[in-house]
Structure 1
Amino acid sequence: MFCAYFHDTDAEFRNTGLERAGNLTKDLAWFKEEGHFIPELLSPGIDYSLYIEELSKKDPQAFICHIYNIYFGHTAGGQMIGRKVSAKILNGKELEFYKWDGDLPQLLQKVRDKLNKVAQDWTRDEKNHCLEENEKCFKFNIEIMRLIVA
């Protein structure tokens, strides 16, 4: 029953205004226009995508951990990294990835409120399970970052 409830709740985390796929597609097109090679999708990104998709169906607490880390990581540390990359190697170009439709603090607060609402009835074990998923979340992201840097 909880999984059915979660799939209804899962809709709460779609179209939040924090999604980056469309903006990333625009940035990749710009890089290509500038003559940069765009590599094919590789294992770390594909594996992570498949893993998150599986979690969304079977493990709501773990899935929520990834939502939190992805959305809030891209907005906090991601913006700082984006500004530095822009200044150092992109001649000040602001990438679309770091632009949001709407007021970013408000978008973040709405997602934070939804996350809190979903987790409010979790048991201590479910909350701990969510926290324990952080290790996997960071592992996947480190693998992706290593690929980018290589």
Structure 2
Amino acid sequence: MTNTILSFSLIDAEFRNTGLERSENLAKDLEWFKDQGHNIPEPSDPGVCYAGFLEDLSEKDPQAFICHFYNIYFAHSAGGRMIGKKVAEKILDKKQLEFYKWDGDLPLLLQNVREKLNKVSEGWTREEKNHCLEETDKSFKYSGDILRLILI
């Protein structure tokens, strides 16, 4: 139990204000789309469900939460940037969305977070590390459910 309490406090301290957060930038992009005459839909079930799931994990299961944290932020900064660039070229008259802009040097931000991830997981048992890795399928499932909304 002590290890779990320690993990929660480290997660809270280490993974806030990393520079990778996207919500403010996403809000700017949504406002831009609205200004262009597009309707912004209400959050749909897959996103609402995943957000609630993540909030629950962040409070109760640090190893599982770290898996989702890693997969989301590192995906947005890697493949997501490439996708964003292609979308901008094809349908946005080359406008770069705010979502794909970071305050600071992205490789340095990622390295800092990677170091924090390593620091947090240093004290984990083999079982806790395996638990983190086993959460990967859920992370991809939830993300895939959200991405499939683009096809609709």
Structure-1-length-normalised TM-score? 0.97
Q: Give the length in aligned residue pairs.
A: 150
For structure 1, the residue ranges without an aligned partner over 5 or more in a row are none
> What are the equivalent positions in structure 2 for 1:103-114 lying under 5 Å apart?
103-114=105-116
Over the aligned positions, Cα root-mean-square deviation in angstroms equals: 0.8
**TM-score scaled to structure 2, two decimals?**
0.96
The residue aligned with 2:44 is: 42
Structure 2 letter corresponding to 1:3: T
Aligned with 1:118 (options 117, 120, 132): 120
What are the equivalent positions in structure 2 for 1:1-40 lying under 5 Å apart? Answer: 1-10=2-11, 11-40=13-42
Aligned counterparts of 2:133 and 2:45: Cα–Cα separation in 1: 25
Query: Structure 1: how far apart are the matches of 2:134 and 2:151?
Result: 27
**Structure 2: distance between partners of 1:47 and 1:7:** 22
Deviation at 1:27, TM superposition (A): 0.1
Range 3-12 or range 110-119, more displaced: 3-12
What percentage of residue pairs aligned between the two structures are identical? Answer: 63
Q: For residues 18-75 of structure 1, what are the alpha-carbon distances to aligned partners after superposition, in whole Å with 9 as ceiling and x for unaligned?
A: 0000000000000000011110011100000000110011111100001100110000
CA distance in 1, matches of 2:10, 2:18: 13
CA distances 1:94-143 after superposition (whole Å, capped 9, x unpaired): 00000000010100000000000111121111111111100000000000
Conserved? CA contact 1:3–1:57, under 8 Å: no
